[in-house]
């Protein structure tokens, strides 16, 4: 079954909003074993929306239309879909009551223009999930859906995701006649490039391509690491879980310790969990990361079990006066170790982490931009490393954070 994604909104074309919705929907379709060969963005213009929808319906079995379901004059998705259906729009009192109740629960009166969101094409059905004021729609095109179906979902990401996961993908699978269960498992890695990982797994990928099930795909996700997605299809849940487990067991010896987590785990949740298991506390000293490392740790539920606190020692005087860094250059492994040991002592933690480096030309100290020194200090001693990280100032800060957390993760593994 071929499924097309159409994202509607002039703001997407102007670059005011990045279209993450289409990529997320594409990922869900792939995981469900549904083909998606086209994704289109179009502005809030009736003529262009009409043309894009006609083209999508002509070449695909189903269309997921994202955005343009709001209450304002430029939200015209429902009108365009009704036109494609050859149907009129009617007020759905159930939806109208639901929208009024949402406003009342917030102590606000509903503006009358919100009733636009309760206008539903005759012949369409409502998507049961409605986390916001915009209802989602399932709209058959042609006599009895002979020409396919259009799903209309809001552009607000959390609203869209609830509808796509809860109704759209299951309905597409039912329509496609897909038998069995399709599931994915994501191995999250850090420390190797996408091309390097593909080369390392080349033989295994060839074996899987020949077998056809399960399959492997790579997804580079910046500070979240490089993801290796295993997708398998089997007659039932137990069988597909067994297939995923077997493939994970086959891959892990090949890619070794660069796998730091599975599925929704990220580096900080893994590290906080490992520290909690060992009864260890943590403190951080940050220069170029400027609090980003501490913020990532604090975002983990239960981080207070292990995290003592942090010091943003951005100026050299703070490094020297507060953390005991020796006078002299501060973008060195020696300075990083002194920072890690200093914050560990200052905040009474078992382990201290430190970042110092060159995020931009102004901090160069004669070193290339992207030069970063990282350190881990514990009662058993300290280790430090120097890395060269790519990108602009923000990416260097982010990559420094995950690289240091990975260094701590590996250190904890080695120490048992």
**Do 82 and 24 share a structural domain?**
yes
Which token pair is 185?
């498992």
Domain edge (last residue) among 133, 153, 176: 176
Bridge partner residues of 340 (DSSP): none
Contact 354, 325 (CB under 8 A): no
Contact 175, 60 (CB under 8 A): no
**Do 149 and 185 share a structural domain?**
no
Which DSSP letter does residue 361 get?
G
Which DSSP letter does residue 177 get?
T
Is this model's pTM higher than 0.85 or not?
A: no
In tens digits, what is the pLDDT along the chain, a chain of 416 residues? 899 999 999 999 999 999 999 999 998 888 787 889 999 999 999 999 999 999 999 999 999 999 999 898 888 999 999 999 999 999 999 999 999 999 998 888 889 888 999 999 999 999 999 999 999 999 999 887 888 999 999 999 999 999 999 999 999 988 988 667 778 899 999 988 888 888 888 999 899 988 888 988 888 877 788 889 898 888 888 999 999 999 999 998 888 888 999 998 899 999 999 999 999 999 999 999 999 999 999 999 999 999 999 999 999 999 999 999 999 888 999 999 999 999 999 999 999 999 999 987 766 667 888 999 999 999 999 999 999 988 888 999 999 999 999 999 999 988 87
Range of the domain at 360: 267-415
Residues 343, 306: Cα–Cα separation, whole Å: 15
**Do 164 and 249 share a structural domain?**
no
Render 387-408 in DSSP notation, one character per residue: EE--SSHHHHHHHHHHHHHHHH
Domain edge (last residue) among 114, 146, 176: 176
Number of domains composing the chain: 3
CATH number, domain with residue 153? 3.40.980.10
Closest CA to 369 of 340, 338, 399: 399
**Do 168 and 36 share a structural domain?**
yes
Distances (CA, A) of 285 to 253, 393, 416: 35, 19, 24
User: Do strands 307-312 and 282-286 pair parallel, antiparallel, or not at all (unpaired)?
Assistant: parallel
Residues 313, 338: Cα–Cα separation, whole Å: 12
Q: What are phi and psi of 168, to 5 degrees?
A: -65, -55
* Torsional sign, CA 165, 170, 171, 177: positive
**Do 230 and 306 share a structural domain?**
no
Residue-level pLDDT at 42: 97
Q: How far is CA 311 from the centre of its chain?
A: 29
**Do 349 and 309 share a structural domain?**
yes
CA dihedral 389, 392, 394, 395 (to 10 degrees): -40
**Do 200 and 51 share a structural domain?**
no
Contact 268, 256 (CB under 8 A): no
**Do 166 and 59 share a structural domain?**
yes
Residues 78, 95: Cα–Cα separation, whole Å: 14
CATH number, domain with residue 257? 3.30.70.2860
Domain edge (last residue) among 176, 205, 232: 176
Residue-level pLDDT at 255: 87
Q: How far is CA 142 from the centre of its chain?
A: 36
């Amino acid at each position: 079954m071929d499924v097309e994604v159409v994202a509607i909104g002039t703001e997407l074309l102007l670059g005011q909003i990045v279209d993450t919705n289409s990529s997320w929907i594409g990922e869900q379709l792939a995981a469900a074993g549904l083909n998606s060969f086209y994704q289109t963005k179009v502005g809030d213009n009736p003529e262009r929306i009409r043309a894009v929808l006609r083209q999508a319906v002509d070449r695909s079995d189903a269309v997921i239309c994202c955005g343009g379901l709001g209450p304002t004059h430029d939200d015209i998705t429902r009108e365009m879909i009704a036109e494609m259906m050859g149907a009129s729009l009617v007020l759905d009192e159930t939806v109208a009551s639901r929208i009024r109740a949402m406003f009342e629960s917030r102590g606000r009166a509903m503006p009358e223009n919100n009733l636009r969101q309760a206008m539903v094409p005759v012949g369409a059905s409502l998507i049961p999930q409605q986390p916001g004021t915009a209802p989602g729609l399932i709209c058959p095109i042609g006599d009895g859906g002979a020409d396919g179906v259009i799903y209309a979902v809001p552009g607000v990401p959390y609203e869209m995701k609830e509808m796509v996961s809860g109704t759209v993908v299951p309905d597409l699978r039912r329509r496609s006649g897909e038998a069995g269960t399709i599931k994915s498992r994501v191995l999250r890695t850090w420390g190797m490039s996408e091309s390097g990982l593909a080369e390392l797994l080349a033989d295994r990928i060839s074996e899987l391509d020949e077998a056809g099930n399960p399959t492997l795909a790579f997804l580079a996700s910046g500070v979240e690491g490089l993801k290796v997605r295993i997708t398998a299809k089997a007659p039932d849940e137990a069988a597909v879980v067994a297939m995923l487990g077997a493939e994970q067991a086959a891959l892990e010896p090949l890619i070794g310790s660069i796998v730091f987590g599975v599925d929704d785990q990220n580096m900080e949740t893994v590290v906080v969990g490992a520290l909690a298991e060992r009864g260890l506390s943590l403190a951080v000293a940050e220069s170029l990361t400027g609090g980003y490392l501490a913020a990532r740790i604090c975002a983990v539920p239960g981080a207070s079990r292990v995290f003592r606190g942090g010091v943003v020692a951005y100026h050299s005087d703070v490094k020297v006066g507060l953390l005991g860094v020796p006078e002299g250059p501060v973008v060195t492994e020696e300075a990083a170790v002194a920072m890690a040991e200093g914050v560990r002592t200052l905040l009474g933690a078992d382990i201290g982490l430190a970042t110092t480096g060159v995020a931009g030309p102004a901090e160069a100290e004669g070193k290339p931009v992207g030069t970063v020194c990282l350190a881990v200090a514990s009662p058993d001693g300290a280790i430090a490393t120097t890395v060269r990280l790519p990108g602009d100032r923000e990416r260097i800060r982010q990559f420094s954070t995950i690289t240091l957390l990975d260094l701590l993760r590996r250190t904890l593994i080695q120490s048992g």
